[in-house]
Amino acid sequence: MADKTYENVVIEREGEVTFLYLNRPEKRNAMSPGLHYDMQDALLNLEYDAQTKVLVLGGKGEAWCAGQDIKTYFREQGNDPVARRKTNNTSHNWRHELLTHFSKPTIAMVQGYCFGGAFTQLSSCDFAIAADEAIFGLSEVNWGILPGGIVSWNLTDMLLPRHAMYYAATGEPFTGKRAVEIGLVNESVPRAELKAKTMELAGKLLKLNPSVVRYTKEAIRAVRHMGHEEARDYLAVKQDAMHKADKEIGEKVGMKECLDAKSYRPGLGPYKRPT
């Protein structure tokens, strides 16, 4: 069945990898209210889409995302608290709730500008690969607001405190290469190689047991904010839940293939998944 079409976002597919692009290139993919509603709808649909095994979040044109739309999100809704609240909730819902809880691995593929509010969806993706040439910036300070929504939280969650403070308080832009150095993205490559590098990572993820990847990413996110005793308890219960959900019975297959068939070395790569 053909994918649903939207005014502000577009879906493209390469096999089991689904690309979801912000698509307002003439406005540098600034997030208007319409874009927020489109993204929420698209993510809800893709969450339950069986063909989507890895989700890539991209941006069409020169920008990945130039942050919230200063005109339509801030100014035009400034005197309409109900509309503002609705858009704000939708904006938070897709950028944080839907993305961080997305049941399939998510990769931010950042080819160009990434500013302000865009740091939330960047941080919510499980992985991020950037073009060396991409430009990141906490530009809020440049025009008179602080990194709101949950951007300040995203920054201190992702970066060492010195980096979070420096880039938030100065608004100084930085490149994809610098984003790797400060831990904001996994890797940066020349822009011409960005899609191939993203597909390479997607290919690695597709070779793995999807239930185990899902429970692992949920665990990594959850324990970050726990004490070790709580984490130990949580991980024991999570492990049990994963065994129940895992249709491939990965642990049994993995153990048998490793100990009996000696068909692979777990230290060097995954067992071959049954077709």
Q: In this chain, which of 33, 105, 117, 210 binds ligand ACO, going by CB under 6 A? A: 117
Candidate ranges 52-60, 108-116, 188-196, 243-251; the one touching ligand ACO (CB under 6 A): 108-116
Q: Assess 139 for contact with ligand ACO (CB under 6 A).
A: yes
Q: Assess 167 for contact with ligand ACO (CB under 6 A).
A: no
Q: Assess 63 for contact with ligand ACO (CB under 6 A).
A: yes
Candidate ranges 79-87, 111-119, 190-198, 260-268; the one touching ligand ACO (CB under 6 A): 111-119
Mark out the alpha helices in 150-271 (DSSP H runs). Answer: 151-158, 161-170, 176-181, 194-206, 210-223, 228-245, 250-259
Structure tokens at 249: 């019975």
Q: In this chain, which of 21, 64, 94, 115 binds ligand ACO, going by CB under 6 A? A: 115
Q: Assess 70 for contact with ligand ACO (CB under 6 A).
A: yes
Candidate ranges 22-30, 79-87, 160-168, 217-225; the one touching ligand ACO (CB under 6 A): 22-30
CA distance 155 to 32: 22
Q: Assess 154 for contact with ligand ACO (CB under 6 A).
A: no
Structure tokens at 26: 């003439």
**In the chain, at which residue ranges do the beta strands (DSSP E only) sit?**
9-14, 17-22, 54-59, 63-65, 106-110, 113-115, 127-131, 135-137, 174-175, 187-189
Q: Is 145 helix (H, G, I), strand (E, B) or coil?
A: coil
Q: In this chain, which of 19, 94, 102, 113 binds ligand ACO, going by CB under 6 A? A: 113
Closest approach of ligand ACO to the CB of residue 27, in Å: 4
Closest approach of ligand ACO to the CB of residue 117, in Å: 3
∠ CA(126), CA(127), CA(133), 5° rounding?
145
Q: Is 16 helix (H, G, I), strand (E, B) or coil?
A: coil
CA distance 35 to 65: 11
Name the residue nearer to ligand ACO (CB basis): 121 or 209. Answer: 121
Residues that bind ligand ACO (CB under 6 A): 27-28, 30, 62-63, 66-71, 113, 115-117, 139-140
